[in-house]
Structure 1
Amino acid sequence: MGIIFKQSFKNTLIIYLAFIIGGINTIVFYPRYLGSEYYGLVTYLLSSSNLIMPLAAFGVQYTIIKFFPSYETKNEKDRFLSSVIFLPLLVALPLGFFWDYVHQWIMSRVTPENKAIESYTVSIYIIAVSCAYFELFYSWAKVQLQTVFGNVLKELWNRVVVMLLLLAVFFNLITKPQFIYVLTGTYILRTLIMMGYAFSIYLPRFSFKLPDNFSEVLKFSFYIILAGSAGAILLDIDKIMIPDKETISKAAYYTVAVFIGSFVEAPSRAMSQILQPLTSKTLNENNHVEVESLYKKSSINLLVIGGLFFLLVNCGVHELFKLMPEKGYAGGELVVLMISLAKLYTMVLGNNGAIINNSKFYRFALPLSLGMALMVYFLNKLFYFKLELGTNGLAFATLLTIFIFNTIKIWLVKDKFSITPFTKKSWQMLAIIVALFFAFYFWNFPFTSIKLFKIPLGPVFNIALKSVLIVVIYLFLIVKLNISQQITNLVKRYI
């Protein structure tokens, strides 16, 4: 667990720095400099590209992680990488050729108030293909157990670029439409940088000779491309469906709440980047003991870190919304709570997804992903369009879907491997989170009248003081009960 914790810790710091910058963009710069209409437009374009990206990638990012460790000689590895690097073109090229039809379909779905989308749909295609190849080369680096640089590009690059471009809009260096076109170009540049880094780590001798198990590689890619496409629906279908009913600015309001709720998942994203190749390696070696160890340790460490940020986010979100410039952003507390609960439960699973995807039971990923996609789609139709529950209905559909299918995933791994992510410490950790949530969620310090240059500082003081209290009590209990040995050692080292 040493290499996992070391790189995961670095990746977590990078991701939280990225989330801080992203938070400034989301809460301060986007609403003030771009406005809710263009912010909603950017949200729609990026979410649409996220739906297409798994299809364009042809599942190669997962295929590399699963199969690369199984090859023993450099010749076998080179033949494998030489073959999979061209697989995304099987989807990307035909998709680009027929993009006019895709464009027409997109425009037939949105309401007349959202016709501004029409000028920018080509950005959806460019970003999707760029992200597909970025993920391919990122996996290329992951299998060499080099994840930090790719993580900087994946998590930090886009947010820093967005901040610089938003400042450029503020100083009238570029227009709002130019913001979208320049942002599209930066996705291409990011992919080229990742490609250069991946080749610097491992440059194969390119060959047109296919690996001996290429049919198995194609079969796995086919399953994963469908599973990945279905899984992407769960993440971004909400933002795509909003313009079908309401103005695109509503997507901006919902995006802010989802972003805040998603803040708790950063450790999961950091740890999974190194856990995926290591899980694949231990499964290929049939090291059942190490698989179970990774499963339990990843679960408790993610629960500890995610639980802290779950408390910080939800116990301060009401005050945070008071700082937003438009009233439309307020009232999203329930969305934040439901999204953060869904993210926290996903973190409890640890490397569950990596175990399923990289084992001989990877075929279960397809029905699970399809089931999640269908369920969230129809629940969105029910809660958002028929029952008129608004964006709270969209968030509840996500929470309900994730709760049901994550429970199925836990059962599946227990049934096939006879292991679970839970220990006695897991239940102690959940009790701590629940107790502190009810202790701090329903009250704030009485600082409502404090202002500086007509700027209300009460919310800032409330968030800061409650956060300090929560962190101190939380860390004391974690260390006192020795919930996680890795985190206890880390806390004692620095405090």
Structure 2
Amino acid sequence: MGIVRRQSIQSTVFIYAGFAIGACNVLVLFTHFLSPEQFGLIQLMVNAAALMAALATLGTVPVVNKFFPFYQDYLKPHKNDLPLLVISICLLGFGLFVLAGWLGKSLIIRKFSGNSALFVQYYCWLFPMVFFMLFFALLESFAWGLRKTVLTNVLRETVVRLYGTLLIVLVALHGISVDAFIKLYSGLFAIPVIVVLVVLIRSGQFHLYVGISSVTRRLWKRMLTFSLYVFSSSVFNVFAKTVEIFFISSINGLAQTGVYSIADYIIRVMEVPQRGMASVTTPLLAVHWKNKDYQEIEKLYQKSSATLLIAGLAILGLICTDLPDIQHFLPEKYRGITWVVWILGAGKLMDLGTGVNNQVIQTSHFWKFDFYTNIFFTVVSIVLNYFLVHRFGMIGAAITAALSLTLFNLMRCVFIYLRFRMQPFRWATAGIVLSGIAAFAIAKSIPLPFGNDPQNKVLIYLIDAATRGIVYIGLFGGAVLYFRFSEDVNQLAEKWKHILYQYGQKLMQTLFK
């Protein structure tokens, strides 16, 4: 677990830095220099591109995640034909996407020309966004196999958001128009693609070998079957997680899409530790399944559950504690997201608390079950969104997202238990949840400092947010460390305590030399 902990921590630090930049973009810059319709357009384009990129991979990314260890073990790097094989397939997938996009343009016009006319206007700029997203996802899977997870997380979470910051600052300074901003935003992943490609080539482990290796001859049937199932599964999963954006945009318009996206972005902060954990555990689980090391798989599964639940409760508690203060810094037209945040947060907490069940199933021999659960996830999401978005708007979309995600994870947990007698929960799980609830109740009971003076409103809200957040994290974090709910969290705390102690000693020696 040392590799997982070290790289997860490093990845998490950079991902949080990216989210901090993204929070500045979304909560301050985008909301003040873009209209709700323009911001909604950006979010719709990103979600549509993510779905189209998943389609265009044609199942190559999970194949690399699962089978790359076999190619590394049995082939020399310059004889590895997997890179050229999957790149060729992705180019074919992108070509099919361009053709389908051109043929389906009339349908897009019919569905979005009423409430979301801007999407129709900038529809063609989806294609470069999809291209770069597609090839970053592919190259990232090779980087994961080579244990370069920190690099890809920095590029995906930090560099991409800095690029968005640069563009919106140029809009604010009248350096570029909003029209140019939207067009340049379509190249969001261009720089990460170039950087990862250069790093992979310089590593000496990435070659475009022309030919068919013995490993491909031996495994191609398994790889094909696996890619068909997991490809369909991943597409269904992406579609289920983005479908509410499409429903809101086509039914309620881009303005409400922009407002919903604010709440959705706030909750996506909870995904930070999950992304870092997934990028590190995926190649490790693939190796453990290959070696039939079931004890290590169960250990990863349970430790990921406790660690992610603690992280999720810490973040959700901070968000909900400070949500009234956060909304005061948003323009009036972007407020009214309290219930959406609460509902989405509850669903995401269930997702985190069940650990890396997705990675456990995908890297096992029962990866076909991933396909079936994602079909269920998608069907439930579409049906519930159709009825609830029509009736309740973005609240209905939030209910759908939380409910479908909860059912989806429960199905997976039950399956893993029945097949492998592994389950993610321990007695400590109840203690983590109760500690979070108690800390939240105490933090929320603190009265507003200095009354409600309108002349010092900004200062009051800043102090209020800081006070409640410190109290919540202090109480919850203290309980987690005292009761030792997670071995990894306690070891991390000890490590930072040691680092701070050393720096403190050096500082004292410098001051009193």
Shorter-chain TM-score tier: over 0.9
| Residue matched to 1:33 | 33
| Residue matched to 2:75 | 74
| Residue matched to 1:90 | 92
| Residue matched to 1:242 | 248
Alpha-carbon distance in structure 1 between the residues aligned to 2:489 and 2:11: 15
Letter in 1 for 2:264: V
Alpha-carbon distance in structure 1 between the residues aligned to 2:141 and 2:196: 10
CA deviations 1:197-253 (Å, max 9, x no partner) are: 222222225122151211221221111221111101122111111121223111110
Alpha-carbon distance in structure 1 between the residues aligned to 2:405 and 2:472: 27
Range moving further from structure 2, 158-167 or 235-244: 235-244
With structure 2 as the length reference, what TM-score do the two structures score? 0.92
Are 1:340 and 2:341 counterparts?
A: no
| Residue matched to 1:271 | 277
| Residue matched to 1:398 | 401
Distance 1:205 1:32, change over 3 A: closer
Letter in 2 for 1:160: L
| Residue matched to 2:511 | none
Q: Is the 8 A contact 2:443 2:471 kept in 1?
A: no
Alpha-carbon distance in structure 1 between the residues aligned to 2:136 and 2:495: 36
Are 1:209 and 2:231 counterparts?
A: no
Alpha-carbon distance in structure 2 between the residues aligned to 1:255 and 1:231: 19
Are 1:410 and 2:413 counterparts?
A: yes
| Residue matched to 2:366 | 361
| Residue matched to 1:320 | 326
Alpha-carbon distance in structure 2 between the residues aligned to 1:407 and 1:114: 36
Q: Is the 8 A contact 1:451 1:457 kept in 2?
A: no
With structure 1 as the length reference, what TM-score do the two structures score? 0.95
Alpha-carbon distance in structure 2 between the residues aligned to 1:277 and 1:486: 19
Alpha-carbon distance in structure 2 between the residues aligned to 1:441 and 1:382: 34
State the Cα distance separating 1:185 from its structure 2 match: 2.4
Letter in 2 for 1:74: L
Alpha-carbon distance in structure 1 between the residues aligned to 2:89 and 2:483: 50
Alpha-carbon distance in structure 1 between the residues aligned to 2:212 and 2:371: 29
State the Cα distance separating 1:444 from its structure 2 match: 4.7
State the Cα distance separating 1:446 from its structure 2 match: 4.0
424, 429, 434: which one aligns with 2:432 = 429
Q: Is the 8 A contact 1:82 1:208 kept in 2?
A: no
| Residue matched to 2:116 | 114
Alpha-carbon distance in structure 2 between the residues aligned to 1:14 and 1:330: 29
| Residue matched to 2:479 | 477
CA deviations 1:302-360 (Å, max 9, x no partner) are: 111221111101111122111111x2322211111111121111111222111100111
State the Cα distance separating 1:104 from its structure 2 match: 1.9
Are 1:457 and 2:463 counterparts?
A: no
Alpha-carbon distance in structure 1 between the residues aligned to 2:422 and 2:187: 45
Are 1:445 and 2:470 counterparts?
A: no
| Residue matched to 2:508 | none
| Residue matched to 1:22 | 22
SS in 2 for 1:456: helix
State the Cα distance separating 1:114 from its structure 2 match: 2.1
State the Cα distance separating 1:75 from its structure 2 match: 4.3
Distance 1:370 1:280, change over 3 A: same
State the Cα distance separating 1:455 from its structure 2 match: 5.9
Distance 1:450 1:165, change over 3 A: farther
SS in 1 for 2:330: coil
Letter in 1 for 2:418: D
State the Cα distance separating 1:450 from its structure 2 match: 4.4
Alpha-carbon distance in structure 2 between the residues aligned to 1:443 and 1:384: 36
Q: Is the 8 A contact 1:317 1:333 kept in 2?
A: yes
Letter in 1 for 2:198: G
SS in 2 for 1:245: helix
Percentage of matched positions with identical amino acids? 22
Q: Is the 8 A contact 1:261 1:336 kept in 2?
A: yes
Are 1:298 and 2:298 counterparts?
A: no
Are 1:331 and 2:333 counterparts?
A: no
SS in 2 for 1:172: coil
166, 177, 180: which one aligns with 2:179 = 177
In the TM superposition, 1:224-235 aligns within 5 A as 224-235=230-241
Aligned residues: 491
| Residue matched to 2:150 | 148
CA deviations 1:117-154 (Å, max 9, x no partner) are: 22211222221221111011111010111111111111
Q: Is the 8 A contact 1:262 1:339 kept in 2?
A: no
Distance 1:494 1:118, change over 3 A: same
State the Cα distance separating 1:392 from its structure 2 match: 0.9
Alpha-carbon distance in structure 2 between the residues aligned to 1:191 and 1:118: 27
CA deviations 1:350-371 (Å, max 9, x no partner) are: 2211110011101111111111
Alpha-carbon distance in structure 1 between the residues aligned to 2:403 and 2:210: 47
Q: Is the 8 A contact 2:113 2:120 kept in 1?
A: no
Letter in 1 for 2:452: S
SS in 2 for 1:85: helix
CA deviations 1:81-100 (Å, max 9, x no partner) are: 33222111232112213422
Alpha-carbon distance in structure 2 between the residues aligned to 1:46 and 1:369: 21
SS in 2 for 1:185: coil
Letter in 2 for 1:336: V
Are 1:221 and 2:224 counterparts?
A: no
Letter in 2 for 1:5: R
Over aligned residues, Cα RMSD in angstroms? 1.7
Q: Is the 8 A contact 1:314 1:441 kept in 2?
A: no
373, 380, 390: which one aligns with 2:378 = 373
Q: Is the 8 A contact 2:417 2:423 kept in 1?
A: yes
State the Cα distance separating 1:442 from its structure 2 match: 6.2
Q: Is the 8 A contact 2:388 2:396 kept in 1?
A: yes
SS in 1 for 2:183: helix
Gaps of 5+ in 1: none
